[in-house]
Structure 1
Amino acid sequence: EMHVGHLRSTIIGDGVARVLEFLGDTVIRQNHVGDWGTQFGMLMAYLQENPITSNELADLENFYRAAKKRFDESEEFADRARSLVVKLQAGDKECLALWGRFRDISLSHCQEIYELLNVKLTMADVMGESAYNDDLINVVNDLKAAGLLVESNGAQCVFLEEFKTADGEPLPVIIVKADGGYLYATTDLAAVRYRSGVLKADRALYFVDQRQALHFQQVFEVARRARFVTHPMHMEHMGFGTMNGADGRPFKTRDGGTVKLIDLLTEAQERAYSLVKEKNPELAEADLRNIARVVGIGAVKYADLSKHRTSDYSFNFDLMLNFEGNTAPYLLYAYTRVAGVFRKLGKDFSEVEGQIVLDAPHEQELAAKLAQFGEVLNSVGEKGTPHILCTYLYEVAGLFSSFYENCPILSADDEAQKQSRLRLAALAGRTLKQGLELLGLETLERM
């Protein structure tokens, strides 16, 4: 199942993809999941020993844990698991059928989370490591033909001048291990070739942990040298920092295990539910639950997206659920204030006539900020940094609040001024809603 470490790549990638689509680009999502390799041999070997039903298999987490324990404790079991991986890679029918079952169960867990997170990834976007398996031998042969492969300690490697160890020794990009196994670099090279040659991408954005920076520098350079990039394609590693606990260390459970993402999202919704119920005890249960979902999930996503992508950050429920400061609840509430004005009128944002006339300083400041929306989105699309959009929306919300308090809308001096201020408020509301949507956050009409 997905754990908290999977959150950042998922939502940062989704946010940038949404912005690029909004700006008119054709975006092809490629969900590069680890759906191949040793772990599947381990699961198959354990299933041979412990035949179980599909229902029991649905709890893949416990099954995986038990298989991993056997793998670590028994050399005979580990050898059997490895031999099953070889059979799987060779296309053994029985192994492929079992692998398909494990993969489908695992991906269905992911899909539930994507839907809860309001992320646009679907099953059709999954292009896992397994998709490139048949091309790996071609990658090796083509590197050999290009004169790039060198044998080193039994492994097949590429050595590039610009990559050296601290002692000045050449740093290998290992393509085939001494035991004949392939590595991430091999699969990533096959993926580069597919994205350039088949998808004809102009730009390939990789949303992967910052700690993989060297890996991608090497892979991109090998791909260029081997001429795997046939259609001109920019390759950009959009690295990100880690999400840490209050102690500044990577987020873990009390007993040191990894935190399941579903548990974190459930807790966020429960905390939001308590907060909303406290503020609005008269609301119907269904409304409370819906608001709690939008606020809870939005708070987790926004707390992450509002930090610079490359920074580590400390996860803190109390801060992210605060209705003051640069948080999702504050922005959602700002939007409901705009919606509230139009609800009183019984009108939609689009039903306001008249010119916008900017007389008061608060009107001018808000309008100047709204005019920057396109520029902000272009910057997000170019740099892959959603925090720029978060900061912008926070500023819009603050300026709308000042405008709302200082420039009476419904009790304006005359009808022309009232219509002008309504149009400005409507534009602020649309910008907030559109901006939050591009970050993958839902909005609420009332809170």
Structure 2
Amino acid sequence: MKQHILELLEQSLAKLKDQSIIAADFTPRLQLDRTKDKSHGDFATNLALMTAKAAGKPPRDLAQLLIDNLPASEHIAKVEIAGPGFINFFVDDNTLANQLQAALDDEHLGVPLPESQTIVVDLSSPNLAKEMHVGHLRSSIIGDAVARALEFLGHKVIRQNHVGDWGTQFGMLLAYMEEMRAQNTEISMALSDLESFYRAAKKRFDESEDFAKRARELVVELQSGDEDCLALWREFNEISLDHCQQVYDKLNVKLTRDDVRGESSYNPDLAQVVADLEASGLLTEDQGAKCVFLDEFKNQNGDPLPVIVQKQGGGFLYSTTDLAAMRYRQNQLNADRALYFVDQRQGLHFQQVFSVARKAGFVKDGLSLEHMGFGTMNGEDGKPFKTRSGDTVKLIDLLNEAEQRAFELVKSKNPDLSEDELREIALAVGIGSVKYADLSKNRSSDYIFSFEQMLSFEGNTAPYLLYALTRVRNILRKATEAGIDASQSPIALEQEKEVELANKLAQFAEVINRLAERGTPHVLCGYLFELAGVFSSFYEACPVLSAEQTSARDSRLKLAKLTERTLKTGLELLGIKTLERM
């Protein structure tokens, strides 16, 4: 409906240009917003206010001219001028009912599919030297939710898990693996706790000069392609990636081993990246390092900041790998968009490497490079989340604790349920609560992690939404048990709360498109929370199964069914498993 009204406004604007009321070359930005107060209609535009100066007319006079030149539409009940010159559109209730029926009949809930693009989503990207910690949560789940929404809209999504599987720390780890093997220690057992293995290797590195020397030698051998060294490295990565996959599976994040493309995969191209930068005249040597200086990025003294692509000793950096990855995503993956879900503290780094990639011709103008930065997850003290001893919290430990807390909560509310049912509900509620608490916050904001708040059945939380969904499903289940089939009955919007629910359901497409465009899952969370609240108000005011008339009952059942499908689809796009009962 929003698109339809925008098209009407475009046609009205064209008529005013034909009448020379507005200059032919004047192209104002058409903006149409949903109104918060329904007495002002369903949609409003400030087009007359924006265009009044160019037309040389008072805004209200221009608003009237725009209305007078609008093509007739059966979908619009009336159009009014409000305030200094806003134009308010009232959608016809029959049109709204037909829109909802079309959504019920469509597997995509009436969400129009845009022209398909190939979109690379760079997400999670843990360092394989250690187990995943809470710092990897946001990249994994925000990136996953956006990727799901893009797939729902019909785009070809290519997930890229850019793991840290290369670099100097691997010499230390491989040296320790070598020692373990010499002592006939089972490597897989030694690596069962990656954090302990890393600490033990670091301790040996700090204490023994011979060990440190061997570690440095192994780095060189690894980077030179020594087969024995590569075999150890592959074994380490295999076990480390298994740890990651356990976390992804528990989180219900759609990442697999096929999505892994680590730093090591770009190693063969790094020297060529440097050579190509040199050939394009962008490279400068500074204190033995090879750098690109960009005038648009300067320090406090006004001097250009360097993007170092090769260290004095010949080693490469993250920037070199990122440039190689961009070139791969352009040339091999043929991406239209590349979304980077990385901590927003890396914002300057991405601005710089994006600029270098464009200046060097590594990516074309048609490839949109977008850093989807996010804030930090903090503890009650407002600082990055840590254990009481100050250590980094393993992500798997956090998820296990959430599941256990949910189990105890659900058991206290449903003592008669079997152990298996309780565990199933606890998994969905516990993991869903951790994810939703994060996803419901603005991506760019920091937030305070609190088990108590996220597991609450009140407010904008996963338990509240999961319970709201089971309540709607309970109504539909009772209708089925009673043999009621409302499929052939029309949707009729006669009561105020019916219209209110219908309007909220009709907003789903706009919300999904906004999420996909901006990479902001919190807009979907807010919408689902509002939808659950609107349905609750509708259910109190408009009896469904006990409605006095069969036609009203069947119409309301259809509204309930569309609410159920919208809540379910929305939660699934957030990567949250739903339940039949709680």
Q: TM-score range by the shorter chain?
A: over 0.9
1:230, CA displacement in angstroms? 4.2
In the alignment, is residue 267 of structure 1 matched against residue 401 of structure 2?
Answer: yes
- Whichever structure has more helix as a proportion of its residues is 1
Correspondence for 1:111 among 221, 245, 267: 245
Identity of aligned residues (%): 67
Single out whichever of 306-315 and 78-87 deviates more from structure 2: 78-87
**1:43 aligned onto 2:173:** yes
Q: Which amino acid aligns with 1:181?
A: G
Distance in 2 between residues matched to 1:276 and 1:47, nearest whole Å = 44
Q: CA separation in 1, counterparts of 2:393 and 2:484?
A: 42
Among 396, 403, 409, the alignment partner of 2:544 is 409
Partner of residue 284, structure 1: 418
Contact 1:353 1:423 in 2 (8 A): no
| Equivalent residue letter for 1:392 | Y
Structure 2 CA distance, aligned partners of 1:327 and 1:353? 36
Which position in structure 2 is the counterpart of 1:9? 139
Instruction: Indicate whether 1:425 and 2:555 are aligned.
Output: no
**Residue identity in the other structure for 2:154:** G
Cα distance in 2 for partners of 1:67, 1:349 equals: 67
The match for 2:288 is 154
User: Counterparts of 1:203-242 in structure 2 under 5 Å?
Assistant: 203-230=337-364, 232-242=366-376
TM-score (norm 1): 0.98
Provide the secondary structure at the position in 2 that maps to 1:29.
strand
- 1:52-82 Cα distance to aligned partner (Å, 9 max, x none): 2132333332111100122233444333212
Kindly provide the CA deviation profile for residues 149-191 of structure 1, in whole angstroms up to 9, marking residues without a partner as x.
1111111111000111112122110000111111000000000
Name the structure 1 match of 2:156: 26
2:507 maps to which residue?
372
8 A Cα contact 1:201 1:231, kept in partner: no
Counting only pairs closer than 5 Å after superposition, residues 240-389 of structure 1 correspond to structure 2 as: 240-346=374-480, 352-389=487-524
Matched residue, 1:390: 525
Q: Which residue of structure 2 aligns with residue 187 of structure 1?
A: 321
Task: State whether structure 2 residue 99 is matched by structure 1 residue 99.
Answer: no
Tell whether the 8 Å contact from 2:440 to 2:522 is kept in structure 1 after alignment. yes
| Contact map agreement 1:342 1:349 (CA 8 A) in 2 | no
Is contact 1:349–1:426 with CA below 8 Å preserved after alignment? Answer: no
1:140 aligns with 2:274: yes
Whole-Å separation in 2 of the counterparts to 1:29 and 1:110:
15
Report the structure number with the largest CA radius of gyration. 2
| Structure 1 match to 2:217 | 83
Alpha-carbon distance in 1 for matches of 2:480, 2:207 = 69
Structure 2 length-normalised TM: 0.75
Partner deviation per Cα, 1:13-55 (whole Å, 9 max, x = no partner): 0000000000111100011010111121111111223322132
- C-alpha distance 65-170 of structure 1, shift in aligned 2 (>3 A): same
SS in 1 for 2:232: helix
Query: Counterpart of 1:50 in 2: which secondary structure?
Result: helix
- Aligned equivalents of 1:171, 1:132: Cα separation in 2: 25
Please give the alpha-carbon distance, in whole angstroms, between the structure 1 residues aligned to 2:199 and 2:486: 58
What letter matches 2:248 in structure 1?
Y
Indicate if the aligned counterparts of 1:16 and 1:380 stay in contact, CA closer than 8 A: yes
Matched AA of 2:501: L
**Structure 1: unaligned runs, 5 residues or longer:** none
Distance 1:436 1:356 in 2: 25
Question: Is 2:151–2:157's contact at 8 Å kept on the other side of the alignment?
Answer: yes
**Could you say what the CA RMSD is over the residues aligned between the two structures, in angstroms?**
1.4
Find the residue that maps to 1:227 and give its secondary structure.
Answer: coil
Aligned-partner Cα distance in 1 for 2:210–2:312: 21
Where do 5+ consecutive residues of structure 2 fail to align? 1-130
Give distance in 2, aligned partners of 1:318 and 1:338. Answer: 26
